[in-house]
């Protein structure tokens, strides 16, 4: 049998990317694709709704954890975890493209992978800090949650938060919020500017930016923080980085995707339960 990559391009189907509009981890993939011209000839996007995450059989066939992002290659290989999907896309379609049968979708594909080993290692460190300490619970069992979940996971079951994902203990929530603050402090000292790793957009920017939109909206609204990324007292360098990213049309469009959903959820009372936890536990540091 011939290898899948030996197939003629006309015989291949497209890859399929399963996305949710306000998912920060999915938005990493969406942002990479937009920076690379969309790649619509090679990648089809299936936009799922919130209910598909816990009850969607379509998603479960691709990712048994029922999480996004999920991805099926044009040869039928199912992938999940944003780092893995981005690595595949970078190898397949990015500046590290090893498949000569596929032409680039745009003649101005950005060079996202940096040139030397130290710079690439720094980017990977920034990405790993995000993935391990902010965006992943590293456990799929009930009541294990990622650090970022302290901003929006309800203390009791709601239509947004099933029972297994609730965060009932205020002390756990406060500890996770402290983790966010400490990781942001490390970022503030470590990034190079104008982008996180210097002069070029890298996977570090693509990874952190969507999550920072959650922080931009929810840290002030839920916990009373200063308007993060829009103030110069606490995180001025991160503010300059965020402002610079927002000058890019593709970063700006992804920000709108997430921001608009979160603002609508605020109006719908999505975060009222978490606000009540903060109000009723003023002895904890928020």
- When the pLDDT of each residue in the chain is averaged and rounded to a whole number, the result is 89
Residue 138 pLDDT? 82
Structure confidence by residue, pLDDT tens digits, 173-196: 999 999 999 999 999 999 999 999
pLDDT > 90 in the chain, percent? 78
249's enclosing H/E stretch is helix 249-267
Structure confidence by residue, pLDDT tens digits, 114-160: 889 999 999 999 999 999 999 988 888 988 999 999 999 999 999 99
| Sign of the dihedral defined by the CA atoms of residues 219, 220, 225, 230, in that order | positive
Mean pLDDT, residues 263-282: 97
* pLDDT at 5 > cutoff 50: no
Cis peptide before 69 (omega within 30 of 0): yes
To the question of pTM greater than 0.85 for the whole model, the response is yes
- Our separate counts of H helices and E strands in the chain read 10, 4
CA distance 155 to 229: 27
Q: Tokens 């290898």 label which residue?
A: 3
Cis peptide before 194 (omega within 30 of 0): yes
CA 275 to mean position of chain CA atoms: 24
């Amino acid at each position: 049998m011939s290898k899948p990559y030996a197939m003629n391009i006309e015989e291949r189907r497209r890859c399929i990317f399963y996305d949710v509009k306000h998912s920060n981890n999915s938005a990493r993939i969406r942002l990479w694709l937009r920076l690379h011209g969309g790649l619509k000839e090679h990648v089809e996007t299936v936009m799922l709704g919130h209910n598909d995450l816990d009850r969607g059989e379509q998603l479960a066939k691709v990712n048994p954890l029922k999480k996004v992002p999920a991805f099926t290659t044009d040869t039928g290989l199912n992938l999940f975890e944003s780092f893995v999907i981005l690595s595949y896309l970078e190898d397949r379609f990015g500046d590290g493209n090893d498949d000569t049968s596929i032409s680039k979708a745009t003649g101005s594909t950005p060079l996202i992978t940096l040139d030397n080993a130290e710079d690439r290692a720094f980017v990977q460190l920034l990405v790993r800090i995000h993935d391990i300490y902010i965006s992943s619970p590293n456990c799929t069992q009930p009541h294990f949650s990622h650090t970022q979940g302290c901003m929006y996971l309800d203390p009791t079951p709601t239509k947004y938060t099933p029972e297994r994902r609730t965060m009932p203990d205020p002390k756990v929530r406060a500890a996770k919020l402290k983790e966010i603050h400490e990781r942001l402090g490390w970022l503030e000292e470590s990034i190079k500017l104008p982008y996180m790793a210097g002069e070029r957009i890298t996977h570090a920017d693509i990874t952190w930016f969507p999550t920072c939109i959650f922080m931009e909206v929810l840290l002030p609204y839920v916990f009373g923080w200063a308007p993060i990324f829009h103030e110069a007292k606490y995180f001025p360098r991160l503010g300059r980085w965020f402002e610079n990213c927002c000058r890019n049309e593709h970063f700006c469009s992804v920000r709108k995707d997430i921001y608009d959903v979160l603002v609508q959820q605020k109006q719908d009372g999505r975060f009222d339960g978490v606000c009540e936890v903060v109000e009723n536990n003023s002895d904890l540091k928020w």
